[in-house]
Amino acid sequence: MATAAAPGLPTLRQMLNATLKELAAQLAARKVSSVELAQYFLKRIETLGSQLNAFISVDPERSLAQARAADALIAAGSAQALTGIPVAHKDIFCARGWLTTCGSRMLSNFVSPYDAHVIERYNQAGAVIVGKTNMDEFAMGSSNETSYYGPVRNPWDTAAVPGGSSGGSAAAVAARLAPVATGTDTGGSIRQPAALCGVSGLKPTYGVVSRYGMIAFASSLDQAGPFARTAEDLALMLNVMAGFDARDSTSLERAPEDYSRALTRPLKGLRVGLPAEFFAEGLAPDVARAVEAAIAEFKKLGCETVEVKLPNMRLSVPVYYVLAPAEASSNLSRFDGVRYGHRASEYTDLADMYRKTRAEGFGAEVKRRILIGTYVLSAGYYDAYYLKAQKLRRLIAQDFVEAFKKCDIIMGPTTPTAAFNLGEKAQDPVQMYLSDIYTIAVNLAGLPGMSIPAGFGAGNRPLGLQVIGNYFCEAQMLNVAHQFQQVTDWHLRTPPGFAQ
C-alpha cells in the first residue's frame, strides 16, 4: 500500500481539537491514517486518561483491526462521514466481542455475542471503537460514583464528579481521549454530564434511536445520543445513530433526515421559551448568570424570548423516581445468575443462589431502585404510586405541548449547580436525585433535549445551557446550538492538563 507522508507530531496535535469534518478531511487527504488516529487516542487514554478512570475497557487489538479496515475503505474511496474516526461507546451498548459490563459487577464477565443497533450503525459507518466508557451502574446515578469500576473524575477538576450516568463518555470527550462518544439519557444522563464536563450532548426524541442492544434501565425513558464538542459533530453522529429499527418496537418509522441540514440557518425571529420554573429557587447564581448571558447572545442573534409555564414540572422528580425504578426492577430481573453474568460461588438452593448472586452482583444504588420499583408495583400500592405517576407523566408532557404553542424552542439551565465534589452527595440520594431536576421532565415527555457549554462557574467548573426542542426538532436544536457556537467559544476550551 502506498503510504502517505508520515504525519509529524504537529499534525497529530491538530487532531486533538479537530472536528469530525476536519478529521475526515485529514483522513481523506491521507495526512493521517485511521490506525495513527486510533493509536494516538489509545495512547492518550493510557497515559492522560488513567487519572480520570473514564474507560472500563480498551482493547487496542480490536480497535486497530477496525482502524485498518477503515484505512482500506478510505484507500478504496468508499469512506463515509465517520469512516476511520475513533468513537468511545458507553459500556451500556452491547458490542460483539467486547466486555459489556454496564458498570456492574453483575456483568463484569459478560462478553457480548452481538452488536447493539447503535454499535452496528457506527461499525457500518466505518467508525473505530476506541473503548467502552465508564458509567454509573446500570445507568443509575448522576455522578458516576455508583460504578463497580470506581468513579470517573472530571477533567476540569479531578476533585469533582463528571456527572452521570454517562460520566465516562463526557469526561473522555472533554479530555480529548476520544473525538466523540456515545451515551444514553434516561433522566439527564447525557445532558447533565455534558454540562458538568463542558461538552455538547444530545438526547433525541424518544424512539429516534433504536434501543436494541442498549442495556435497559427504564425502557420508556431510555434514549441513546451523542457527545461531541460541537453541535456540528453531534449532527453528523445523529445521522449515523438515528433511524428505524424493526428490532425495537418503540423505534419510530420515519423518513431518514440529514440533521446537519439546518445548521447555518439564521435564528432571526426564533421564539425562545423561558419557563419560569427553570429560574426559581434552587438555581445556583453562577448557573443563572451563565444562562442569562447565553440568552443575551441569542437575543443578539435575533431571537425573541417568551415566558412559558411548566406548572407540573415540579412533580417530575417524584414521578420519575416511581416510574424509572418500577421499570428497572423488572428490567433487571434477568440478571439472576442462571444464564450469564455473575453467579454466587456458593449457595444452598435456588432461592439462596438468587439471593446471594443479586446481593453480590448489584451495588447499593441499584438495590435501592429495585426495592423502590418492586414496592410501587406491589399489590395494594400500584394504583397509589405507579398509576398515579403515569397520570402525572401525561400532565407533565401536556405542559410542554402548551408551552410549544407559544415558542419554537425552550431554554434553561441543564443543572442547578456546577459539578459537585466526589463524595459530596453520595450519601444523600435525594440531593443527588435533585441534580436532574431540569432534565427529567424532558424524558418523561419524550422530547429531545441537549446541553451545550455556556461558561464556567465557581471553581472554574463548566456550566451548560439546556436546549429543549419540540418532538423531532433535533435539526432545529442543532441549528440553534451551532449558531451559538459561532459566536461563543466555551465549547472550544480544553481542560488544563489535557490540552497537549
100 binds another protein (CB under 8 A): yes
Q: Is 189 a catalytic residue?
A: yes
- The nearer residue to another protein, 34 or 112, going by C-beta atoms, is 112
Residue-by-residue DSSP string for 285-299:
HHHHHHHHHHHHHHH
| 90 included as an active-site residue | yes
In whole angstroms, give the CA distance from residue 291 to residue 465: 6
Among the listed residues 63, 165, 329, 451, the single catalytic one is 165
Closest by Cα among 243, 229, 268, 271 to 482: 229
- From 20-28, 287-295, 326-334, 464-472, span contacting another protein (CB under 8 A): 326-334
The b/e string for 120-138 (b: 16+ C-beta within 10 A; e otherwise) is bbbbebbbbbbbbbbbbbb
From the list 402, 360, 364, the residue with the least C-alpha distance to 146 is: 364
Give every CB contact of residue 371 below 8 A, 6+ residues apart in sequence.
329
Catalytic residue (one of 34, 143, 169, 189)? 189
CB 188 to another protein: min, Å: 19
340 binds another protein (CB under 8 A): yes
Does residue 461 contact residue 195 with C-beta atoms inside 8 Å? no
| Site membership for another protein, residue 488 (CB under 8 A) | no
Using rule CB under 8 A, residue 382 touches another protein:
yes
| Minimum distance, C-beta of residue 333 to another protein, in the bound complex (Å) | 2
Choices 106-114, 181-189, 276-284, 431-439; region in contact with another protein by CB under 8 A? 106-114
Give, to the nearest 10 degrees, the angle between helix 231-241 and helix 474-487.
160
**Smallest gap from residue 393 Cβ to another protein (A):** 12
Q: Which of 31, 90, 203, 356 is catalytic?
A: 90
C-beta separation of 194 from 481 below 8 A = no
Whichever of 332 and 437 has its CB closer to another protein, that residue is: 332
Binding flag, residue 214, another protein (CB under 8 A): yes
One of 244, 347, 354, 456 touching another protein (CB under 8 A)? 354
Site for another protein in 110-169 (CB under 8 A): 110, 112-114, 116
User: Cβ 151 to another protein, closest distance in Å?
Assistant: 23
| 333 contacts another protein (rule: CB under 8 A) | yes
CB 172 within 8 A of CB 199: no
In this chain, which of 300, 334, 394, 406 binds another protein, going by CB under 8 A?
334
Q: Is 219 in the site for another protein (CB under 8 A)?
A: yes
- Rounded to the nearest 5°, which phi and psi values hold at 290? -65, -40
- The CB density around residue 113, as the number of other CB atoms within 10 Å, is 10
CA distances from 44 to 49, 90, 143 (A): 6, 18, 23
Q: Is 217 in the site for another protein (CB under 8 A)?
A: no
| d(C-alpha 372, C-alpha 385), whole Å | 10
Q: Which three cell numbers stand for residue 400?
A: 410542554
Residue type, 55: F
Asked if 230 and 223 count as a contact pair (C-beta separation under 8 A), the reply is no
Counting contacts by CB under 8 A, is residue 348 touching another protein?
A: no
Cα separation, 221 vs 185, in Å, equals 8
Among 246, 256, 268, 281, binds another protein (CB under 8 A): 246
Number of residues in the chain: 500
- What is the per-residue binding string for another protein in 383-422, x denoting contact by CB under 8 A? ---x------------------------------------
Residues with catalytic annotation? 90, 165, 189
Contacting residues toward another protein, per CB under 8 A: 93-94, 100, 102, 107, 110, 112-114, 116, 211-216, 218-220, 246-250, 326-327, 329-330, 332-336, 338-340, 350, 354, 374, 377-379, 382, 386
